[in-house]
Amino acid sequence: MSDEAEVQLPAALWFGETPHSKKLAPGALGLDFTVAPARGPEGPTVALFGAFALSAPYTLIYRAQLSSAIHIVAVHARTGRVHVNKPADPNALPISATMPKDLDAAIAQANPLERGMVVQTFFNVDLAAHLVLPPEEGDYHVFLWLDDRVTPVRTVHVPANPARQSFGGGVAIPLALGDTASSPQPRDGAVALERPADGTRLFGALPASALPQEPEAAGSPPPPLTLLAFCQRSRNFGWSTVPVAREMREAKSHAFSFEPSALVRCGDVPEQTYLLAMFGALRSDVVKLPQSSR
């Protein structure tokens, strides 16, 4: 990115295709983004150019609010701190106000024309301003997240800018380490994350190569484990970052487990919960929990 010319940004968020926008294959469905060094109203930053072409079930669930349902997520590469926002018009209605009351019925009862409808949109953000990144420079693992659909993770360097403000922290959750009968098998190049059918806890495992055998072999401290979750209708979002390297070495295990309800609280109406786990640039597949309410 450093060899590219800076893009001049007109605002922290705007819509429409640009020369930098991600080009999706003609006729293909997808969600993706590109990034470029930029200068916004608050100074040096990074521009994110998002694009999607989506059909059912997303168009049936979110209708005209589809852009507002996408999370732009940036996870600090060293600390695991999460910054998140949506490319949503600030004057738009809350998603919960426009979603069908019965999502399953809305999907099942849709006619062929509704099922085949494709919505394509381009959105663009000043990544640092829109996600309220802190003033210090840093590397961030960035991705877009829409329910069970997640883009590839891209590591982005965000330049320092003293005009930016600091951001608050996540929640602290109890995390259990060590292998159990429910622990998944480690996966190469990804975090394993599963929910057994007969329980509420989520069980995960880091790849065997994720942590060096000796701390001094790492060169720099290993990243923490970052857990992320959101509720579909209320859009409540929660995250937690937990240092696990030393404890995992002592336990001689890369396995972990936690209770999802400690990570995010959903609204009064039953709704789906979607979860991810990250370790550096490695992430898990999305885990979808049954409908629940607080």
Tens-digit pLDDT string for the chain (294 aa) = 444 578 999 999 999 999 999 999 888 999 999 999 999 988 899 999 999 999 999 999 998 899 999 999 999 999 999 999 999 987 888 888 889 999 999 999 999 999 999 999 999 999 999 999 999 999 999 999 999 999 999 999 999 999 887 766 788 999 999 999 999 999 999 999 999 988 889 999 999 888 876 655 556 788 999 999 999 999 999 999 999 998 998 889 999 999 999 999 888 888 999 999 999 999 999 999 987 644
pLDDT at 294: 47
The answer to whether the beta carbons of residues 245 and 221 sit under 8 Å apart is yes
pLDDT at 197: 84
Tokens representing 180 are: 């159990």
Q: Residue 218's closest CA among 280, 153, 136, 139?
A: 280
pLDDT at 1: 45
Residues contacting residue 280 through CB under 8 Å, at least 6 positions apart:
77, 141, 210, 222, 223
What pTM does this model have?
Answer: 0.91
Tokens representing 109 are: 């009862």
pLDDT at 201: 93
Distances (CA, A) of 152 to 3, 33, 155: 22, 9, 10
pLDDT at 3: 45
pLDDT at 215: 56
Residues contacting residue 84 through CB under 8 Å, at least 6 positions apart:
71, 72, 73, 74, 131, 228, 237, 239
pLDDT at 281: 95
